[in-house]
Amino acid sequence: MPPPVHSARVIIVGDSGVGKSTILSTYNGERFNTVYVQTREREIKNATVQVNRRPVELQIWDTPGNPLHRTITAAYMKERIQGVVFVYDVTDDRTYDNVQHWLKTVNEYAGNDLGECKGNIKFVFVGNKADKTLERKVHPESGEQLAKQYNGFYVDASAKTSQNIDQIFQRMAESIFSEDKKQHNSLPREGDQDDNSGSLDKEKRGFFGCTFL
């Protein structure tokens, strides 16, 4: 497999305890841990995803959700990010309601004007803990409505059972590296000349153009 020629930085946000870190560890093949460990600072992991039969790299940032650390998370959003994964707990409707807070934080600090379409940051909304069917309070229709409202994707997932965990980052990679030739950061088809302008090692062009999914 050829090495990735395009990279993108993705940040995971959401309230404390919704399972952000567990989603990322499950995605990396680590064993599910029932013991909750609060994230206090940014953790970064890299993942290679296939899009159009080409490998692309996601640099995934896990962030604290505790209110005491939200200013730290907000500061991370000032970095050049191309995607945001919003996670909530389907058994706790407060965490779903608080997605609006995280959307406002992205809007304020990441330069992504949700109302006027001045940003090109891609969104994936995740309802985690879907395995807890008897305790569920937020149904998939609510997540799908949220994703539709903000031009993103919704994924019903469970970090415990690995349900749809891969789909979260596959959807994100596909939305960032779109085939749309009008986007400056589109991924070339196999056989096209490689262009490293999308790499994190070079100045990115077009990530903040007015293009939504």
Token couple for 30: 């680590």
Tell me the per-residue pLDDT of 93-145, one tens digit each, with 9 for 90 and over: 999 999 999 999 888 887 655 543 345 899 999 999 999 999 999 999 999 99
Decide: 61 and 184 in contact? Cβ < 8 Å.
Answer: no
The Cα–Cα gap between 126 and 117 comes to 22
Q: Does the domain formed by 7-191 have CATH 3.40.50.261?
A: no
What is the model's pTM?
Answer: 0.76
Tell me the per-residue pLDDT of 7-31, one tens digit each, with 9 for 90 and over: 999 999 999 899 999 999 899 886 7
Domains of the chain, by residue range, sit at 7-191
Q: Residue 151 contacts by C-beta under 8 Å, 6 or more apart in sequence?
A: 123, 212, 213
